[in-house]
Amino acid sequence: MPRLPEEEHPNKAFGWAARDSSGVLSPFKFSRRATGEKDVAFKVLYCGICHSDLHMVKNEWGTSLYPLVPGHEIVGEVTEVGNKVQNFKVGDRVGVGCMVGSCRSCDNCKDNLENYCPKMILTYGAKYYDGTLTYGGYSDTMVADEHFIVRILDNLPLDSAAPLLCAGITVYSPLRYYGLDKPGLHIGVVGLGGLGHVAVKFAKAMGVKVTVISTSPNKKKEALENLGADSFLISRDQDQLQGATGTLDGIIDTVSAQHPVLPLLGLLKSHGKLVLVGAPEKPLELPVFPLLQGRKVVGGNMIGGMKETQEMIDFAAKHNVKPDIEVIDMEYVNTAMERLAKADVKYRFVIDVGKTLKATS
């Protein structure tokens, strides 16, 4: 990609990038665009590590553009605003999630669903309007149009807020859209990882009864005692599944690996909804008869629009919904990626960019 002259890109930046599909990250100097009239620039203090970062640095989805600076769970403090910015000022606590642009004119954008805009621009590894590559939050600074900036309320710790900008909205949005947020409903959460544990916390805060469904019996104590779930099912135990047949109003399925859907459909009541938010690389097998025999629905969901993302952050602050995190130094990021690949984290890594990135430069 041709570089623009230095005077057109005065905002020098520093971060960590992958140069190729080996996925190894190392220090990287680059430039952010000058702060435009509707832009907000901020100092990055924390950035969460999402499982999609791991896929992207290794080009496992075949869409990666290098050099690739990952990170779309970015929080920090505003350092500069453009002269037409209306909602933010220097010193504000802010964040950027999975997207930094959309057409702003299609039906989805008009409905505050920028996440489904055909021209949605990802926070990293995508081409911006000016043809430059977007770089994510494993870096010291961030610049984005104010429309794609989220305000972080003062009572929500910044390090805990970071994973909410992807993991949080990924489970909050389907709970709201599919009507699984009503007190007294009973839902299942499949998978107790980065997404699943936040889904349990949001659902409980909404007054919903929650059953965790997992392949790992050793997660039962964690689910019930630490996360506050009401019950626990081992998905490979046929007796347990049989005993829970037809008990759930809906299921949020967070698993991104190959897994059978049929046992989950059996747990749903008539008119129940199975919502997939994980992204298995290979197609899942979907039996149709269980859908017909109870008017059941299988749906999907991908993050949320900006209005709903702000609503989610505000809800988390009000109800004290905080992901369980392990804060790490920037230099630990490659080890963290290796551990993430083995699901060896409870439940989300967050890089302390503000305090540890300078030390590596």
For position 279, what pLDDT does the model report? 85
Residues forming beta bridges with residue 94, ordered by sequence position: 76, 151
By DSSP bridging, strand 297-300 and strand 325-328 are: unpaired
Those residues whose C-beta lies under 8 Å from the C-beta of residue 113, and which sit 6 or more positions away, are 304, 305
Q: Residue 285: what are its φ and ψ, rounded to 5°? A: -85, 125
| Alpha carbon distance, N-terminus to C-terminus of the chain | 24
* Average pLDDT estimate for 129-148: 96
For position 10, what pLDDT does the model report? 62
List helix spans (H) across 79-157: 107-110
pLDDT value at 240 more than 90 = yes
For position 7, what pLDDT does the model report? 40
Distance separating alpha carbons of residues 90 and 223, to the nearest angstrom: 40
Q: What is the pLDDT of residues 300-358, one digit of tens each?
A: 999 999 999 999 999 999 999 999 999 999 999 999 999 999 989 999 999 999 999 97
pLDDT value at 361 more than 80 = no
**What is the average pLDDT score of the chain?**
94
For position 6, what pLDDT does the model report? 38
* Average pLDDT estimate for 68-75: 98
Place 70 in a pLDDT band, splitting at 50, 70 and 90: very high
Task: List the Cα angle 354/157/226 in 5-degree steps.
Answer: 120
pLDDT value at 5 more than 70 = no
* Average pLDDT estimate for 153-177: 98
Q: At what angle do helices 194-205 and 306-319 cross, to 10 degrees?
A: 70
For position 2, what pLDDT does the model report? 39
* Average pLDDT estimate for 54-64: 93
Q: Which domains does the chain have, with CATH numbers?
A: 11-166+324-356 (3.90.180.10), 167-300 (3.40.50.720)
Helix/strand/coil for 3: coil
Helix/strand/coil for 173: helix
Q: What is the pLDDT of residues 248-296, one digit of tens each?
A: 999 999 998 889 999 999 999 999 999 999 988 888 999 999 999 999 9
Q: What percent of the chain has pLDDT over 70?
A: 96
Q: What is the pLDDT of residues 187-212, one digit of tens each?
A: 999 999 999 999 999 999 999 999 99
Place 359 in a pLDDT band, splitting at 50, 70 and 90: low
Separation in Å, CA 77 to CA 63, 83, 102, 213:
31, 18, 24, 38
DSSP class per residue in 16-34: EEE-STT--EEEEEEEEPP
Distance separating alpha carbons of residues 47 and 6, to the nearest angstrom: 27
Place 3 in a pLDDT band, splitting at 50, 70 and 90: very low
The more confidently predicted of residues 3 and 27 is 27
